[in-house]
Amino acid sequence: MTSTAAAGSARKDAQDKGSTTTLGRALNEGLRQAMRDDDRVVLLGEDIASLGGVFRVTDGLAVEFGDRVVDTPLAESGIIGTAIGLALRGYRPVCEIQFDGFVYPAFDQIVSQLAKMRARSRGLLRLPVTIRIPVGGGIGAVEHHSESNEAYFCHTAGLRVVACGHPQDAYDMLRAAIACDDPVIFYEPKRRYWDRAEVDLGRPVDGDTVGRARILLEGADVTVVAYGPTVAVALSAAEVAAAEGRSLEVLDLRSLSPLDTTELCRSASKTGRVVVVHEAPVNVGLGAEIAATVMEHCFYNLEAPVERVGGYNVPYPPARAEGDYLPDLDRVLDAVDRVCAP
């Protein structure tokens, strides 16, 4: 065995056992493994081959997989339209939208074609297309680069919508999304791309990860529901609350559509108090659906109304003001105080 091959083998052994990596690198490894497992998987997006994408999530994949990694023109509608055609011919396309606010030119393709084809054909046609979207603020970006537009797609029947908030989930959920026969909107929290954690790259694909919530921290007093970029905020709030003698349970939704109502309601019934945290505006946001679901199914177990913490009903502000817009530790703890008030 050559020294290069030996080094590669050692790297793979270390990865299979679990190693510390960033969320962005975990996504890269998820794409790599999906492409190795199935030669029908192809990647499309702006600068994803030559540059590795804006956040370098596709870095190095063009070297290994050649023309299965395609640099597209700057035309999101064309990217999704091409992916739909490829899916109809048996491929499993994975599209990258550079930033969340750039997805709108492709909105018609997604909601009118991608989401509807299976129902329109009575199940004869399936479109296994995964659309990766970096989401949320917190990186000091300019206009149209910090949107949280998940409610649009959660409202669209025929789409699965998921959001990862942890490197292990990034790896597991992306592989499961690509293997899914339904179209999947896959949100990646851009300000968490550099968060590090131990990731086991030897796990098999588990299709249930694209539809199942997960308890990250057991608690007794309040359930804090979060997803994507706000998962870390919820965990920080739980840590501070614990020092003050209050026990928070943190539920990472992971799947935004469909909602895992079983796990959501189990946790809500257990604690009797719920706070929902997301970066999107509270007005007609996903938190409203979560609150309504909890009220409908857990009403007699609740000790207080469900509280929502999120963005304000204004266009996303300039970078210098985003700290006042995004839900932070203090706003979450304030909501916890309100639901615990006598």
Examine domains 12-210 and 214-340 and report if their fold is the same: yes
Q: Is 144 a catalytic residue?
A: no
Alpha helix stretches (DSSP H) within the chain: 3-17, 23-37, 61-65, 76-88, 107-108, 117-120, 150-154, 167-179, 231-243, 261-271, 286-298, 322-325, 329-340
Give the separation between CA 241 and CA 225, rounded to whole angstroms. Answer: 15
Give the separation between CA 255 and CA 173, rounded to whole angstroms. Answer: 10
Q: Is 326 helix (H, G, I), strand (E, B) or coil?
A: coil
Domain at 12-210: CATH architecture: 3-Layer(aba) Sandwich (3.40)
Rg of the Cα atoms in the chain? 20
Determine which one of 145, 155, 278, 297 is catalytic. 145
pLDDT of residue 14: 42
Give the residue ranges of the chain where pLDDT is below 70.
1-18
DSSP 74: S
pLDDT digits (tens, 9 = 90+) for 191-240: 999 999 999 999 898 888 888 999 999 999 999 999 999 999 999 999 99
Residue bearing tokens 């997805």: 103
Give the separation between CA 64 and CA 62, rounded to whole angstroms. Answer: 5
- Going by C-beta distance under 8 Å and a sequence separation of 6 or more, which residues neighbour residue 155? none
Give the separation between CA 31 and CA 57, rounded to whole angstroms. Answer: 9
Give the separation between CA 82 and CA 85, rounded to whole angstroms. Answer: 5
Which residues make beta-bridge pairs with 93? Answer: 42
Q: Supply the pTM of this predicted model.
A: 0.93
Length of the chain: 342
pLDDT digits (tens, 9 = 90+) for 133-142: 999 999 999 9
∠ CA(147), CA(151), CA(156), 5° rounding? Answer: 130
Give the separation between CA 79 and CA 138, rounded to whole angstroms. Answer: 27
Write the DSSP assignment of 290-320 as a string of letters.
HHHHHHHHHGGG-SSPPEEEEE-SSPPPPGG
Q: Which fold has domain 214-340?
A: Rossmann fold (3.40.50)
- Going by C-beta distance under 8 Å and a sequence separation of 6 or more, which residues neighbour residue 210? 160, 162, 173, 176, 177, 180, 184, 255
Give the separation between CA 286 and CA 295, rounded to whole angstroms. Answer: 14
The strand order across the sheet containing 307-311 reads 214-217, 248-252, 222-226, 274-281, 307-311
Give domain limits for the chain.
12-210, 214-340
Q: Is 82 helix (H, G, I), strand (E, B) or coil?
A: helix
- Going by C-beta distance under 8 Å and a sequence separation of 6 or more, which residues neighbour residue 247? 219, 220, 221, 222, 241
